[in-house]
Chain A
Amino acid sequence: MRRVKSAALERKKEVATTLENFGLNLYEQMEKGVFPSIKMPSRSTENIYYSPELRQYILGERRVRRSARNIRHIRPFTQLVWTAYFAHELAKHRKTSTLRDVYYSAQAYEVAFKDQPESNNIITDLETVAGFAREDFNVFPEERSAIFGDLTIEYTVPGYEGRQLNLTSHPDGVMIGPALTSAEFVKTGADKVIAIEKGGLFTRFVEEQVHKKFNALLVLTAGQAPRATRHFIHRLNKELKLPVCILTDGDPWGMHIAMVIISGSANAAHLRDLTTPDAKWSGVWASDIVKYKLPSDPLTNVDVKRLHELQRDPRYKGKLWQRETKKFLKIRKKAEQEAFSRYGLTYIVDEYLPAKLEAFEQS
Chain B
Amino acid sequence: MVQAFEEISAADFFYRNRDIAGFTNPTRAIFSSMRELVENSLDAADQLGIPSDIYIRLSHDYEAMKVEAEEGNLENEFTGLEPRVYRLRIADNGSGVPARHIPSAFGQVLFGSKYKLKQARGTFGLGGTMALLYGQITTHKPALVESSTGGARRYKYRLMVDIPRNRPIILDRKITLNKEGWRGTIVEFSLEGDYAKAMSRILEYLKQTALVNPYANITFIDPRGRLYKFTRATSKVPSPPKETKPHPYGVDVETIQRLIRITPYRNMVDFMKNHFHRVGEKTAHNFLESAGIGKTINPKRLSQERVVRLVKTMKRFRGFLPPDASCLSPIGEELLETGILKELQPEFVALCQRQPSTYSGHPFIVEVAIAYGGNISRRSDMVLYRFANRIPLLYDEASDVAWKIIKRINWRRYKVTADMAIAILVHICSTKVPYKTVGKEFIADRPEVKREIRNGIREAARQLQHFLTKREHVEKERKRLSTFSKYLPKIAKFSTELSGKEKPPDIRKLLMSVKKYEKS
Q: Is the CB of A35 within 8 A of B510?
A: yes
Contacts of A77 in B (CB 8 A): 487, 491
Q: Is the CB of A31 within 8 A of B491?
A: no
Give the shortest distance, in Å, between A129 (CB) and chain B (any CB): 12
**A85: CB under 8 A from chain B?**
yes
**B495: CB under 8 A from chain A?**
yes
Number of A-B contacts defined by CB within 8 Å: 79
Q: Is the CB of B494 within 8 A of A30?
A: no
**A20: CB under 8 A from chain B?**
yes
Kindly identify which residue among B495, B506, B509 contacts A26, using a CB–CB cutoff of 8 Å.
B495
Contacts of A34 in B (CB 8 A): 510
**B375: CB under 8 A from chain A?**
no
What is the predominant secondary structure among interface residues of chain A facing chain B? helix
Q: Is the CB of B490 within 8 A of A109?
A: yes
Which of B21-29, B128-136, B496-504 lies at the interface with chain A?
B496-504
Q: Is the CB of A81 within 8 A of B499?
A: no
Q: Is the CB of B495 within 8 A of A81?
A: yes
Q: Is the CB of B505 within 8 A of A68?
A: no
Q: Is the CB of A74 within 8 A of B506?
A: no
**B13: CB under 8 A from chain A?**
no
Could you tell me the distance between the alpha carbons of A75 and B483 in the complex, rounded to whole angstroms? 8
Contacts of A4 in B (CB 8 A): none
**B8: CB under 8 A from chain A?**
no
Kindly identify which residue among B491, B500, B507 contacts A81, using a CB–CB cutoff of 8 Å.
B491
Could you tell me the distance between the alpha carbons of A159 and B148 in the complex, rounded to whole angstroms? 106
Give the shortest distance, in Å, between B499 (CB) and chain A (any CB): 4
Q: Is the CB of A19 within 8 A of B498?
A: yes
Contacts of B501 in A (CB 8 A): 24, 27
Which B residues, 468 to 520, have Cβ-Cβ distances below 8 Å to chain A? 480, 483-484, 486-488, 490-492, 494-501, 505-507, 509-510
Q: Is the CB of A23 within 8 A of B487?
A: no
Q: Is the CB of B498 within 8 A of A36?
A: no
Identify the closest chain B residue to A68 (Cβ): B491
**A107: CB under 8 A from chain B?**
no
What is the predominant secondary structure among interface residues of chain B facing chain A? helix
Q: Is the CB of A27 within 8 A of B499?
A: yes
Give the shortest distance, in Å, between A267 (CB) and chain B (any CB): 27
Could you tell me the distance between the alpha carbons of A22 and B506 in the complex, rounded to whole angstroms? 18
Q: Is the CB of B490 within 8 A of A81?
A: yes
Q: Is the CB of B483 within 8 A of A36?
A: no
Q: If A33-B510, A74-B488, A75-B487 touch, does A20 touch B480 (CB 8 Å cutoff)?
A: no
Kindly identify which residue among A24, A71, A82 contacts B499, using a CB–CB cutoff of 8 Å.
A24
Could you tell me the distance between the alpha carbons of A85 and B506 in the complex, rounded to whole angstroms? 19
Could you tell me the distance between the alpha carbons of A335 and B330 in the complex, rounded to whole angstroms? 93
Kindly identify which residue among A20, A30, A35, A75 contacts B500, using a CB–CB cutoff of 8 Å.
A20
Give the shortest distance, in Å, between B353 (CB) and chain A (any CB): 42
Q: If A30-B507, A31-B505 touch, does A78 touch B487 (CB 8 Å cutoff)?
A: yes
Q: Is the CB of B498 within 8 A of A23?
A: yes
Q: Is the CB of B480 within 8 A of A36?
A: no
Identify the closest chain A residue to B479 (Cβ): A71
Which A residues, 74 to 112, have Cβ-Cβ distances below 8 Å to chain B? 74-75, 77-78, 81-82, 84-85, 88, 109-111
Q: Is the CB of A74 within 8 A of B498?
A: no
Could you tell me the distance between the alpha carbons of A27 and B494 in the complex, rounded to whole angstroms? 9
Kindly identify which residue among A23, A35, A75, A110 contacts B495, using a CB–CB cutoff of 8 Å.
A23
Identify the closest chain A residue to B484 (Cβ): A74
Contacts of B499 in A (CB 8 A): 20, 23-24, 26-27
Which A residues, 160 to 203, have Cβ-Cβ distances below 8 Å to chain B? none
Q: If A33-B509, A35-B510 touch, does A111 touch B490 (CB 8 Å cutoff)?
A: yes
Give the shortest distance, in Å, between A93 (CB) and chain B (any CB): 13
Q: Is the CB of B491 within 8 A of A78?
A: yes
Could you tell me the distance between the alpha carbons of A88 and B496 in the complex, rounded to whole angstroms? 12
Could you tell me the distance between the alpha carbons of A24 and B497 in the complex, rounded to whole angstroms? 9
Q: Using A23-B498, A74-B488 as known contacts, list a sample of 12 further A-B pairs with CB atoms less than 8 Å apart, ordered by residue number in A.
A: A27-B496, A30-B491, A30-B495, A30-B506, A31-B505, A34-B510, A68-B488, A74-B491, A77-B491, A81-B494, A81-B498, A85-B494
**A-B pairs with beta carbons under 8 Å apart, 17 shown:** A20-B499, A23-B495, A23-B497, A23-B498, A24-B498, A26-B495, A30-B491, A31-B505, A33-B510, A36-B491, A71-B480, A74-B484, A77-B487, A77-B491, A78-B494, A82-B494, A109-B490
Binding site for A on B (CB under 8 A): 480, 483-484, 486-488, 490-492, 494-501, 505-507, 509-510
